[in-house]
Amino acid sequence: MEFNRVVGTRRSIRFFKSWRPVERSKIQVMFEAANRASRSMNADYFRAIVVNRDDLDAETRDALRNPTTTADLDLAPTYIFWYIDLDYVAGAQDRLKELVDQHALPAAHGWSKAYVDDFLWPQVLEPISKDLNAVIFMGAVETGIAICNAINAAVDQGLGTCMHAFTANDTVKPLLGVPDTWLPVWLQLVGYPAEEPEAGGQRPRRPLSTLFFEGSCDHPWDEDPEVTEQLTREGMIQEPGPFPYRAQEVRMLSRMYGLPE
């Protein structure tokens, strides 16, 4: 799928083909996409554990359920538990110098190994590593970037996915052997969509002019209609929801799975 269409086709899929497992190869593609994501300090901010629903015994599956996350876990065949590793700053000094060696951080932009060793590490990064609020803030931003790549990789492979609040950490942590330094971020459900991939049409978004500005906040972004038209042709902008049959689609899926209407 072309990039613009991947971005435009992404939806939060909530009805999965519960009977169809996700190929391990497709999960690897998602992980590699996440691993290729932009990241400051070339640090490894995130960790993820993939678990297939049908590999869990009944007792474990029940332990993961709670009144707000039950149908989700039944329908999705694959769960990815995403975390921030709060120790991500460890090793940043060496990784930054590695980037200096690779000329990714060149002298042309002020970088040197001496700067990393003598100033950046002792005066900036090490202090940040001791400020939990800063660690969580940076970790959340950078982990989100990685997850975004994983989401788009899932869509590109015909998978559906949806991010969910992490509601059962007390159960998940001992069950999956999660280290104390890992902070839960999102539970990503993955599977083949039982609903149409369009899931009733593209979700409402506000105009670019309400979110983006040019030069200063006094000048909202002025859309070029030709670009908008191009993006429509290429699938980034798609037919808005709800499709006329969306309510019926959801009703029929709910009945198939015995869910509330």
Partner 1 sequence: MIDALDVGHHATTPPQPVGAAEGSDPADPFDGSPAVRRWLEQMGDRDPAEQASDVSLLRRFCAAELTTPDELVARCLRSTKSGDTAISAAGRRATDQAITAFAATEGLSGREAIVLGNRLRSFLIHNGIFLQGPASIL
* Residue position matching structure tokens 């689609």: 249
- Structure tokens given for 51: 């678990």
- 137 near partner 1 (CB under 8 A): no
Scan residues 52-91 and list those touching partner 1 (CB under 8 A): 65-72, 74-75
Question: Minimum distance between the CB of residue 185 and partner 1, rounded to whole angstroms?
Answer: 20
Determine phi and psi for 211, rounding to 5 degrees.
Answer: -115, -25
Question: Minimum distance between the CB of residue 141 and partner 1, rounded to whole angstroms?
Answer: 27
Instruction: Compare residues 4 and 69 and give the one whose CB is closer to partner 1.
Output: 69
Question: Minimum distance between the CB of residue 14 and partner 1, rounded to whole angstroms?
Answer: 11
Scan residues 151-180 and list those touching partner 1 (CB under 8 A): none
- 259 near partner 1 (CB under 8 A): yes
CB atoms within 10 A of CB 249: 18
Question: Minimum distance between the CB of residue 65 and partner 1, rounded to whole angstroms?
Answer: 8
Please work out the total of residues on this chain that contact partner 1, with binding judged by CB under 8 A. Answer: 19
Q: How far apart are the first and last CA of the chain?
A: 34
- 20 near partner 1 (CB under 8 A): no
Scan residues 189-248 and list those touching partner 1 (CB under 8 A): 247
Question: Minimum distance between the CB of residue 165 and partner 1, rounded to whole angstroms?
Answer: 10
Residue type at 260?
P
Instruction: Compare residues 1 and 259 and give the one whose CB is closer to partner 1.
Output: 259
Contact set with partner 1 (CB under 8 A): 18-19, 65-72, 74-75, 247, 255, 257-261
